[in-house]
C-alpha cells in the first residue's frame, strides 16, 4: 500500500489527455484582506501550485481550473497557517466562505465531495486535538506512586479517545465509500506521519473502498491500481497463514524470531525459553508508543527479577532513528528491528496487522494471549509468575 496520500493520488488519479472541462472555485475569506491565496493541485505527477490570487479588501477570491472531462481532482486552498482541501469535479461552481479560524470555520457549497472532505477534516482535527491534549497531560504526570492512579486514568481516557476517533473515521469511510473522499480519509496520516488506517489491520476498509469505487468508476485507472494493491495485500495475508501453519510444526509452541539488535547481534526469541515472555511489536512513529513503553518499563522493573522478559520488535522503522529512540528511552529489554515491516517473517508469523500488538508466552512456551495492555497485562503477568 502507498505510504502517503500524495503518493497514492500521484499513482491512482489519471491525467486526462482528452477533453477538458472548467470548474470555478470562489468565495469570501473574511479577515484575509489583500492577501495571497494559493491553489495547489494534487495530480498524478506531483503536488504543485497552479494559481495564485490576491484577495479583495473583503477577502473575495476566484479561481478557474481546467479538469479532465470525467475525473475529479484534488486541490488545496492554501495560505500559511491553514489548508482547505477540495475535491473538484468538472462543471462545478464551488463557493468557499469562512469566518475567524479559516482552517476550521469554513463552509463549502456546490460540491458534495468537497463537503465530505470538510466533514472528514472536522472529525480528524477534533479527534487529534483530544488525543494530543491527553498525551501531553500524561507526559507531564511523573511516574511516581502518588500519581499512579492519575496516570492510569489518563491512559484509559487516551485509549477511549483513540477508539472513538477510529470509530468515527471508519463510519465516515463506510458511509461514503463510493466517493473519492473516502479514499482521502483512507490514506490520511497522523501528525507523526503514521497512517491513520493501516493497510494490514484495516484491510477490510481498503477492500470496501476498492469495491465501491469499482462500481462507480468501472473504467478508471486509479481504481484498477487500488484493486491491485488490495489483491497484493490479500496475497500477503495468505502467505502469513502459510507461515503460521508451518510454525505450528516446530518443536516449540511458538514461531521462532531471529532478528538483530542495535549492535547487529543475533537475538533468538527461543533464547528466552523458561521465562514469561512478552513479544511486543511496535513503531516509534505510533503516537501511543512512548506511553506504552513507559508502562512496560514499570512492569519490567517489577517482574524481570522474577522471570519476566520483553522481546520488542520495531516494525520497519528507520534504523538510525530506531536506535536513537531505544537509547533515549533507555529501554532495558531485548530490542530488535524487523526491517521488512509488516511483510517481514516475524510480523507474518504472528499475524501482526498493526501496532501496538503483543503476544504473551508462558514458561512452558505456550502462547497464552494477545494484546493485553494496562491493568489486564499486569494481572496476567502476575498470574503467570507465581
52-56, 140-144, 201-205, range with greatest mean pLDDT: 52-56
Predicted local distance difference test score (pLDDT) of residue 19:
54
Tell me the fold of 5-102: Immunoglobulin-like (2.60.40)
Asked if 245 and 237 count as a contact pair (C-beta separation under 8 A), the reply is no
Q: Which of 2-6, 99-103, 127-131, 219-223 has the lowest mean pLDDT?
A: 2-6
Q: What percent of the chain has pLDDT over 90?
A: 37
Pinpoint the alpha helices (H) of the chain.
5-12, 112-140, 148-175, 180-186, 203-216, 221-247, 289-303, 319-329, 345-349, 374-384
Average pLDDT, the chain: 84
Predicted local distance difference test score (pLDDT) of residue 4:
41
pLDDT tens across 310-336, in order? 999 999 877 888 988 898 889 999 999
Question: Could you tell me the pLDDT band of residue 242, with boundaries at 50, 70 and 90?
Answer: low
Does residue 5 have a pLDDT over 50?
no
Predicted local distance difference test score (pLDDT) of residue 222:
65
Predicted local distance difference test score (pLDDT) of residue 245:
62
Task: State the cell numbers at 59.
Answer: 477577502
Question: Could you tell me the pLDDT band of residue 16, with boundaries at 50, 70 and 90?
Answer: very low
Does residue 386 have a pLDDT over 80?
no
Check the CA dihedral 332-305-309-250 and report its sign. Answer: positive
Helices 148-175/112-140 angle, 10° precision: 170
pLDDT tens across 203-224, in order? 888 889 888 988 887 766 667 7
pLDDT tens across 344-384, in order? 888 888 888 888 999 999 998 889 999 998 888 999 999 99
258-384 classified as CATH 3.40.30.10: yes
Does residue 162 have a pLDDT over 60?
yes
How far apart are the C-alpha atoms of 347 and 233, rounded to whole Å?
Answer: 14
* 162 compared with 249, residue with greater pLDDT: 162
Domain locations in the chain?
5-102, 121-243, 258-384
Q: What percent of the chain has pLDDT over 70?
A: 86
Asked if 42 and 72 count as a contact pair (C-beta separation under 8 A), the reply is no
Q: Which of 40-54, 75-89, 210-224 has the lowest mean pLDDT?
A: 210-224
Amino acid at each position: 500500500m502507498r505510504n502517503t496520500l500524495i503518493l497514492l493520488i500521484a499513482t491512482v488519479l489519471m491525467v486526462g489527455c482528452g477533453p477538458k472541462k472548467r470548474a470555478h472555485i470562489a468565495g469570501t475569506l473574511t479577515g484575509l484582506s489583500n492577501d495571497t491565496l494559493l491553489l495547489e493541485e494534487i495530480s498524478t505527477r506531483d503536488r504543485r501550485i497552479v494559481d495564485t490570487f490576491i484577495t479583495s479588501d473583503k477577502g473575495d477570491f476566484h479561481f478557474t481550473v481546467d479538469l479532465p472531462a470525467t475525473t475529479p481532482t484534488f486541490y488545496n486552498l492554501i495560505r500559511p497557517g491553514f489548508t482547505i482541501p477540495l475535491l473538484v469535479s468538472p462543471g462545478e461552481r464551488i463557493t468557499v466562505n469562512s469566518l475567524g479560524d479559516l482552517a476550521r470555520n469554513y463552509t463549502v457549497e456546490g460540491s458534495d465531495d468537497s463537503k465530505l472532505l470538510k466533514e472528514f477534516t472536522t472529525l480528524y482535527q477534533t479527534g487529534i486535538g483530544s488525543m494530543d491534549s491527553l498525551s501531553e497531560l500524561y507526559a507531564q504526570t511523573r511516574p511516581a506512586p502518588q500519581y499512579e492512579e492519575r496516570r492510569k486514568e489518563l491512559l484509559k481516557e487516551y485509549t477511549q479517545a483513540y477508539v472513538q476517533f477510529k470509530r468515527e473515521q471508519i463510519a465516515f469511510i463506510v458511509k461514503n465509500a463510493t466517493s473519492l473522499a473516502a479514499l482521502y480519509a483512507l490514506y490520511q496520516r497522523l501528525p507523526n506521519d503514521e497512517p491513520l488506517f493501516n493497510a494490514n489491520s484495516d484491510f477490510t476498509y481498503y477492500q470496501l473502498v476498492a469495491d465501491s469505487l469499482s462500481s462507480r468508476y468501472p473504467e478508471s485507472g486509479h481504481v484498477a491500481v487500488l484493486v491491485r494493491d488490495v489483491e497484493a495485500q490479500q496475497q500477503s495475508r495468505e502467505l502469513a497463514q502459510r507461515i503460521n501453519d508451518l510454525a505450528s510444526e516446530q518443536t516449540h509452541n511458538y514461531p521462532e524470531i531471529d532478528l538483530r539488535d542495535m549492535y547487529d547481534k543475533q537475538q533468538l526469541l527461543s533464547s528466552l525459553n523458561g521465562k514469561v515472555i512478552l513479544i511486543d511489536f511496535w513503531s516509534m512513529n505510533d503516537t501511543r508508543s512512548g506511553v506504552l513503553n513507559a508502562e512496560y518499563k514499570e512492569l519490567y522493573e517489577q517482574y524481570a527479577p522474577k522471570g519476566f522478559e520483553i522481546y520488542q520488535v520495531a516494525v520497519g522503522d528507520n534504523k538510525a532513528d530506531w536506535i536513537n529512540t531505544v537509547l533515549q528511552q533507555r529501554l532495558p529489554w531485548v530490542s530488535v528491528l524487523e526491517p521488512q515491516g509488516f511483510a517481514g517473517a516475524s510480523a507474518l508469523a504472528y499475524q501482526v496487522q498493526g501496532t501496538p500488538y503483543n503476544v504473551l508466552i508462558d514458561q512452558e512456551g505456550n502462547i497464552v494471549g494477545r494484546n493485553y495492555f494496562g491493568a489486564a497485562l499486569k494481572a496476567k503477568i502476575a498470574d503467570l509468575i507465581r
